[in-house]
Amino acid sequence: MSDALPTTRLNEAGCNAYTAESSERRIADRHRAHPVPTRASCEQAGHPFLNFSCEVPIIHVPSLHSNRKIKMRTLVSLLATASALAFLPGCSTTQNVTAGPQVKNSPMTTACFTAHGGRSADMDAAIQRNLENHGVSVSLAPKCDNADMSVTYTDSWFWDIVMYLRSMDIRFYKAPSGGLIASGHWKNSVLHQFPNADGVVQDLMDQMFTQTGEPSAVRTKAASN
């Protein structure tokens, strides 16, 4: 027992001494490898001294992966812009008026109008009113005697919370031969508006009568009112 106890104490002392010595050696090695910066050493290296450390500027060099991501984002943006520009023409309201082969030397003082009746009574009234605004005397088919021209129309309506006008076509025909004098076509955009239907009729009629040489009572942009 007397021989074992000194050996144990010696071993414990030896371990403790070895541990302390190793820790001091590691700390000394760390300081030699990474000395604590001073203001003088930072200024000598050309770096500002801040909070007991050298503030070294960091330069970020983009990697090949990041360059690919940037190029991909640019390509996607260009494709999106091109698609939007290609889609825009389809998002606008269109209106076209065409003069027919009978546009010349066709009197247009009296008209035989084919009304739709029923739920289209408002459109019937708008067509008749705008014909009269251009000085045309209107009779309703089939009770028409010696009219200069016959007038027909087609309208298309869609539902989106409320009914809205999708498209409108008006045609003037020479009576009684039936040759086309003029036609007007209006179409709502894909991202549709809720236009004033009477205004659409006004704009078409104005342009149709102008096309045939009768420019009086012309109103523009009435469909937006």
CA nearest 95: which of 200, 196, 165? 200
pLDDT score of 219 more than 50: no
Query: Which residue type occupies 180?
Result: L
Question: Which range, of 9-23, 70-84, 167-181, 191-205, averages the lowest pLDDT?
Answer: 9-23
Confidence of residue 69 (pLDDT cuts 50, 70, 90): low
CATH number belonging to domain 92-224: 3.30.160.670
Q: How far from 111 is each of 64, 72, 135, CA to CA, in Å? A: 75, 63, 10
What pLDDT is stored for residue 155 in this prediction? 93
β-partners of residue 139 are 112
**Which of residues 18 and 82 earns the better pLDDT score?**
82
CB-neighbour burial class of residue 110 (10 A; exposed 0-12, middle 13-18, buried 19+): middle
Distance, in Å, from the CA atom of 159 to the CA atom of 109, rounded to the nearest integer, reads 37
* % of the chain surpassing 90 pLDDT: 32
Distance, in Å, from the CA atom of 66 to the CA atom of 135, rounded to the nearest integer, reads 71
Distance, in Å, from the CA atom of 164 to the CA atom of 197, rounded to the nearest integer, reads 8
Q: State the chain's mean pLDDT as an integer.
A: 74
Over residues 145-177, the pLDDT tens digits come to 889 999 999 999 988 888 899 999 999 999 888
**Which of residues 81 and 155 earns the better pLDDT score?**
155
Concatenate the DSSP letters of all residues of 86-113 into one string.
Answer: HHGGGGS-EEEEEE-TT-TT---SEEEE
pLDDT score of 143 more than 90: no
Say if residues 199 and 218 touch (Cβ distance below 8 Å).
no
What pLDDT is stored for residue 220 in this prediction? 39
pTM, rounded to two decimals: 0.56
Give the domain ranges of the chain. 4-54, 92-224
CA nearest 164: which of 113, 110, 218, 93? 93
Over residues 8-48, the pLDDT tens digits come to 444 444 444 444 455 566 666 665 655 656 666 666 666 56
176 preceded by cis ω (within 30°)?
Answer: yes
Over residues 94-132, the pLDDT tens digits come to 999 999 998 887 888 999 999 998 888 999 999 999 999
